[in-house]
Amino acid sequence: MKTLGKKIRLLRHQNGWSQEDVAKKLDISIPAFSKIETGITDINLSRLEQIANLFEMPVVQLLNFSDVEHDQQIVHDLEAINKKLMDRETEVIDLQKKVIELFEELRHSRIIA
């Protein structure tokens, strides 16, 4: 059941809902919903159907829901972060070159003076 709870939490996050939001929609307390997400509470068929309806999917799809979309989003986010990091590294290298050039100009102007 812990895997199902993780799936429910992932779906909740994908919808931008808080535990309070979902608990209200299911007409249960926040701690009760939290126990569902953490796998402390086993979900009966009625509650499972209610949760599946909330996320607009059949119970079977909820039970078979995979983290592929979440994993793809993580890969996409990591690629974007990596690109930003490479851009920053290029900026740092360019700035280092400018500092060296300025240092050389300063050194050269002292030699001439």
Alpha-carbon span 54 to 21, nearest angstrom: 11
Higher per-residue confidence, 10 vs 112: 10
> Do residues 59 and 49 lie in contact, with contact meaning Cβ atoms separated by under 8 Å?
yes
CATH code for the domain defined by 2-64: 1.10.260.40
Q: Which residues of 6-18 are buried (b: 16+ CB within 10 A; e: fewer)?
A: bbbbbbbeeeebe
pLDDT at 1: 47
Where residue 111 falls among pLDDT bands split at 50, 70, 90? confident
Instruction: Give pLDDT tens digits for 35-94.
Output: 999 989 889 999 999 999 999 999 998 888 665 666 777 788 899 999 999 999 999 999
Helix (H) or strand (E) holding 53: helix 45-54
**Domain ranges, ordered by start, for the chain:** 2-64, 67-113
